[in-house]
Structure 1
């Protein structure tokens, strides 16, 4: 079995692809993989580090306003389709799988022109532009949110609800972080706040101003700022003259799911992969959707959890130190609500998501 994977730009497109790959390796030890991404995306670093052969094409997204850059985008699309065809012919895959990002457009379109079976994996509750474009050309459309079916209503026979393979990978992680590594106590209730791998300025700023309010609380707080914000936030907090034993500020956490398993509440953005991990582990969350994403899909992702009672939503435009503190404190002080939210989150998890997607892969190859 030879499988070509494509997806890029953010970890939300890359980690599901790698999770699927890891499960397919367990099921089919002789399987071969090739990953096609861009040199500018995170995949150019993450994928080779994972030991996966990597090739790149050059592509960019269309501007939503009239722009000469769109002429360049069309040129790059034509060029990258040609290069993708060459890569596919050389590798000769049994199936091509796209997990999102602009790079999937030329790669999966090229696969369809060459008669190679293909699958797109839509992680969000609202489909992205690339997957909407590819829907007519691919063999299957795999969904993580039932709400996304509406965006692919023209192709009901292709839609399959699989969930995100990252869920199965995270649910099976044995490693559990120790809070002593952060200078905190393993026995105390803990809230974890972060704004994604790169951090989020508004979340960081609100937390920095809220820190004195956590003084003498019977729980702990970890703020993960992101590398680029760390120095500014720590300097700002130091200037307050508050040296709180129950608050820690760190720039980055390498294995976030292992830390999730040690905390009681998570405050974060509502990207698809993060929500997959939270529901897989049954973690109550306060979600602050990024207002800077296409089609406001993070808000819609968050609403999918909120309506099931698995999360609370704070919109960034309402966020300040007081709002942040009160939301965290209210949930941290209410164990019954935490328990109910945890159960609701767990009910949304898809513990066999990787197996479901692997079954679709096998089915498509055998057709």
Structure 2
């Protein structure tokens, strides 16, 4: 009798695994949310080739462009985040939130997901909240060491919460947490581009190469320092790959494009080539930037964004600095200290090797697979 019950349960689970599973992945706003989401989708597809996957994001945000480029469908919500710089711009926020819930109800009704996965960003909240009310399993990925408010609220009813670091019990129910690390794009995790190929791609020579990235939206402090010193690089036999980000992009592009030793654009699609070409990197210290740099094994100078929630970018950077795996320059000190720090690291091959060795030891390359496996095992 017991054996029969076990066989029946086994056949039931097998049948559930054989049916086509349907997933909604919600969130976005920045590359730090979008690219992990795409990595999770790719891992789900690898383990379940027949899975149906739909993304839901915010209209007008970069996910509406990047997700289709990755080969997935996306639907946009009329939703916006809270604007801290202008309270007047928040007048229409409640109406947009209400409208987004109606849009979510229609999307969920049409797609009929078996599970909903949230990766952060304000578009994830109405999707996961609606799914939870409907009893649909919800999974959250929190990339930062300080959880976002939306994720904290959603975590109470979530099925499982995937986190990058230990100590997240202060934000989420401990029994729901699974430490996985942060998903990294496979073209970075499995990069096989040679330095020579990468330099040729950017039209640069075989010289010491600095990669500057401030995130998909940009980092004004870093960009202003680079803009004021871009003419000093060539006499020092240095060259630059410069991702300016969206904000102020035209100004910075105009500043850099007249120099033959500078490649400049608001966004780098082929980040695997950028990392392969770089000898050292200057970056903000968002969770995904830190994760990618560990995987890419690059000496880095972090300039943490000082207004991140709970100053978590400084916490992120300091965790590596304390392990002799990175350098850090505070945002308020960048104007006077960042360029000298870049020159000092560029000239010090021994320090570059030390940082490279130590940061490589912190790399996690299979977070996407762990997350996908945990979701599928629950279904």
Q: TM-score, normalised by structure 2?
A: 0.85
Asked if the contact 1:16–1:164 (Cα under 8 Å) also holds between the matched residues in 2, the reply is yes
Match of 1:326 among 340, 348, 362: 340
The number of residue pairs the alignment matches comes to 356
**Aligned equivalents of 2:378 and 2:346: distance in 1?**
46
Q: In structure 2, what is the equivalent of residue 351 of structure 1? A: 365
Gapped regions of structure 1 (runs ≥ 5) = none
Query: Which portions of structure 1, spanning 4 or more consecutive aligned residues, are displaced by more than 6 angstroms?
Result: none
**Aligned equivalents of 2:250 and 2:87: distance in 1?**
37
1:134 aligns with 2:154: yes
Q: CA deviation at 1:237?
A: 6.7
Q: In structure 2, what is the equivalent of residue 361 of structure 1? A: 375
Q: CA deviation at 1:312?
A: 1.2
1:81 aligns with 2:95: no
Q: In structure 2, what is the equivalent of residue 267 of structure 1? A: 282
For 1:167-182, what aligned pairs fall within 5 Å after superposition?
168=186, 170-176=188-194, 177-182=197-202
| Cα pair distance change 1:229/1:65, threshold 3 Å | closer
**Aligned equivalents of 1:309 and 1:130: distance in 2?**
34
**Aligned equivalents of 2:361 and 2:100: distance in 1?**
41
**Aligned equivalents of 2:352 and 2:94: distance in 1?**
49
User: Alpha-carbon deviations, 1:206-263, whole Å to 9, x = none?
Assistant: 122223443543543333334664553465579xxxx876x31412432122210221
1:122 aligns with 2:142: yes
For 1:24-103, what aligned pairs fall within 5 Å after superposition?
24-62=44-82, 72-103=92-123
Give the match's secondary structure for 2:171.
Answer: helix
| Cα pair distance change 1:130/1:209, threshold 3 Å | same
Match of 2:35 among 8, 11, 15: 15
Q: In structure 1, what is the equivalent of residue 272 of structure 2? A: 257
- Range that drifts further, 282-291 or 50-59: 50-59
Give the match's secondary structure for 2:236.
Answer: coil
| Cα pair distance change 1:61/1:212, threshold 3 Å | closer
Asked if the contact 2:256–2:262 (Cα under 8 Å) also holds between the matched residues in 1, the reply is no
**Aligned equivalents of 2:250 and 2:365: distance in 1?**
38
**Aligned equivalents of 1:54 and 1:224: distance in 2?**
26
Q: In structure 2, what is the equivalent of residue 225 of structure 1? A: 244
Asked if the contact 2:198–2:276 (Cα under 8 Å) also holds between the matched residues in 1, the reply is no
Q: In structure 1, what is the equivalent of residue 227 of structure 2? A: 208
Q: TM-score, normalised by structure 1?
A: 0.87
Q: In structure 1, what is the equivalent of residue 320 of structure 2? A: 305
| Cα pair distance change 1:340/1:32, threshold 3 Å | same
Give the match's secondary structure for 1:165.
Answer: coil
| Cα pair distance change 1:203/1:168, threshold 3 Å | same
Asked if the contact 2:256–2:263 (Cα under 8 Å) also holds between the matched residues in 1, the reply is no
**Aligned equivalents of 1:51 and 1:105: distance in 2?**
24
Q: In structure 1, what is the equivalent of residue 184 of structure 2? A: 166
**Aligned equivalents of 1:265 and 1:149: distance in 2?**
35
**Aligned equivalents of 1:166 and 1:35: distance in 2?**
18
**Aligned equivalents of 1:266 and 1:244: distance in 2?**
19
- Range that drifts further, 87-96 or 99-108: 87-96
Gapped regions of structure 2 (runs ≥ 5) = 1-20
Q: CA deviation at 1:107?
A: 0.5
Give the match's secondary structure for 1:166.
Answer: coil
Give the match's secondary structure for 1:56.
Answer: strand
- Range that drifts further, 27-36 or 229-238: 229-238
Asked if the contact 1:95–1:364 (Cα under 8 Å) also holds between the matched residues in 2, the reply is no
